[in-house]
Structure 1
């Protein structure tokens, strides 16, 4: 039996003069939006939003007319939402500024941003797919994600991710409950792989690949913790690496944990307040809409 039933929201059934206010309210937990200069609300704002909850990843298919958007510092203070999200534009153009850097989005591209940082931008009339992912899904690979904030994946890597998302979207209505963990984990792994390959080559890039492999190993062990078949050989085959390489990864992971523990113990008690949010339970995805985060 199919597991997913999408939630649909549209302003098209409302009077034109009420459409923009309705969309503002719908996206208010995430961003503040404004109409372009010279455009009146009475002209209408026909927007569509379809959300699919994959129990760990939320896929949103969306159409909006041109508008400006901003996730302000005030907005960050008023909500605990800190998910990552990938934008795959189907039509239109967008320009998003984060920390003084502007990323241009459009068809054939894939953008990565976080709701944990402020940003602002504008978009033309556009259709897009947006994939929301909780930070905890990436475990120790969050550092890799942080280093790629506001990034637009180049050429071949964007194509790999876009093709995968296209294939998932085609099957959304047919996915079963048993399919969902595999789709969620595969989505995470493809994003991490694409990001690790777009960063600087050499030692830094190898380090990011190590981080991605360690996270995949951790997730595999969690899924198979009570399986009699869980063994180094099986894990190495799952990751596509040798046993020697596997042992090197675990030595690296253990060394990093020891270093992190030492740093935490050496810090003054007051310095820990900045880390408090890492101990807070992450918000779960809603059963329906992004606006219910």
Structure 2
């Protein structure tokens, strides 16, 4: 895809958003906003430390990011800690608008990554500065610049009092984005094209209140196109194309798991043979997910949940468990409850309603919504 193609894609989206804005303005001016139209707008979900006791403010802010980062106050004081989130669920993407006082951050250590969230984050600074240390290198970003992190990698950093937009991009969005972002992870986009992406994301954030669910496929396509055109890794960051190769291998492995999920022979050795790589390479690919078998089991549990939640699927629980690779019913029940918080029979008796991570965000405590959205994005 050429830069011209991307800019054309983005221009079409701009026109679509302008049409929506003009139509909305006309309805509002006439005082005849359709009820169904208003209800279909994309909701946003907010969380703020304002109003909490000072002793609880930073703890609540830290908990809201617990699925992806560990946070530490830079200089704990008796003054308020100010933090505010505004979240949008964009289906295949998540966008967050963040305002925060100064803090330090670090990736989650391996011992807590049993059910890890592993996405790329593209952070656009609106004010303030971020410094990140990763793989023996440090890089900073200021207003208008974009930083790219990999939540499955190892890094630390510090952020000044700042405002920012964070786009969460799942690893399975597409092979092309996986290769592109894999090449540029842990870097700052300070090129002209990087600034173009920054401007694009700011404009999207400004226009989200005018969008509906029907607009999300077009928005996802335009954003993916902008990523492919605007993300160009710096020359000193490319190391023999190792990043793109690893990401292509990971996507092939995920596709293999999806296609053969219910095959009783599916396991780490089968995946390794199909990819034609060493055990060490396979381990490194899936280390952020807790290993190959943990990833396979989690996908199978998701499949089992979907079956149990489907009121039309009347197979017995033990039949679903066996078809999803669990020969021991007690083991299946324990793993299922660890993953979802409910037993298989509780899900079946509830008569459907979807996987817990897909519950209406209105039902979630406000400080847990970011973690829920990121796990939902993980699929």
Q: Normalising by the residue count of structure 2, what TM-score does the alignment of the two structures yield?
A: 0.55
Distance in 1 separating the partners of 2:272 and 2:157:
41
Query: Secondary structure of 2:173's partner?
Result: helix
Q: Determine the structure 2 residue equivalent to 1:53.
A: 89
Q: 1:139 aligns with which of 175, 179, 186?
A: 175
Q: Determine the structure 2 residue equivalent to 1:185.
A: 221
Q: Determine the structure 1 residue equivalent to 2:68.
A: 30
* Displacement after TM superposition at 1:20 (Å): 0.8
For 1:128-277, what aligned pairs fall within 5 Å after superposition? 128-196=164-232, 264=274, 266-267=276-277, 272=282, 276=292
Does the C-alpha gap of structure 1 residues 45 and 268 become closer, same or farther in structure 2, counting only changes over 3 Å?
closer
Does the C-alpha gap of structure 1 residues 286 and 86 become closer, same or farther in structure 2, counting only changes over 3 Å?
farther
Q: Is the 8 A contact 2:120 2:169 kept in 1?
A: yes
* Displacement after TM superposition at 1:25 (Å): 1.3
Deviation track 1:112-149 (CA, whole Å, cap 9, x = no partner) reads: 11111121101111110000011100225423321211
Q: Determine the structure 2 residue equivalent to 1:87.
A: 123
Query: Secondary structure of 1:188's partner?
Result: helix
Distance in 2 separating the partners of 1:5 and 1:18:
27
* Displacement after TM superposition at 1:84 (Å): 0.8
RMSD over aligned Cα atoms: 3.2
Query: Secondary structure of 2:41's partner?
Result: coil
Query: Secondary structure of 2:158's partner?
Result: strand
Q: Determine the structure 2 residue equivalent to 1:255.
A: none
Deviation track 1:135-194 (CA, whole Å, cap 9, x = no partner) reads: 100225423321211111123112110111122112101112221011112111211211
Distance in 1 separating the partners of 2:197 and 2:177:
18
Query: Secondary structure of 2:231's partner?
Result: helix
Query: Secondary structure of 2:184's partner?
Result: coil
Q: Do structure 1's residue 290 and structure 2's residue 370 form an aligned pair?
A: yes
* Displacement after TM superposition at 1:195 (Å): 2.0
* Displacement after TM superposition at 1:196 (Å): 4.1
Does the C-alpha gap of structure 1 residues 115 and 185 become closer, same or farther in structure 2, counting only changes over 3 Å?
same
Q: Is the 8 A contact 1:53 1:287 kept in 2?
A: no
Does the C-alpha gap of structure 1 residues 179 and 66 become closer, same or farther in structure 2, counting only changes over 3 Å?
same
Distance in 1 separating the partners of 2:223 and 2:176:
16
Q: Is the 8 A contact 2:184 2:234 kept in 1?
A: no
**Which entry has the higher C-alpha Rg, 1 or 2?**
2
Does the C-alpha gap of structure 1 residues 112 and 25 become closer, same or farther in structure 2, counting only changes over 3 Å?
same
Q: Do structure 1's residue 15 and structure 2's residue 53 form an aligned pair?
A: yes
Q: Do structure 1's residue 69 and structure 2's residue 101 form an aligned pair?
A: no
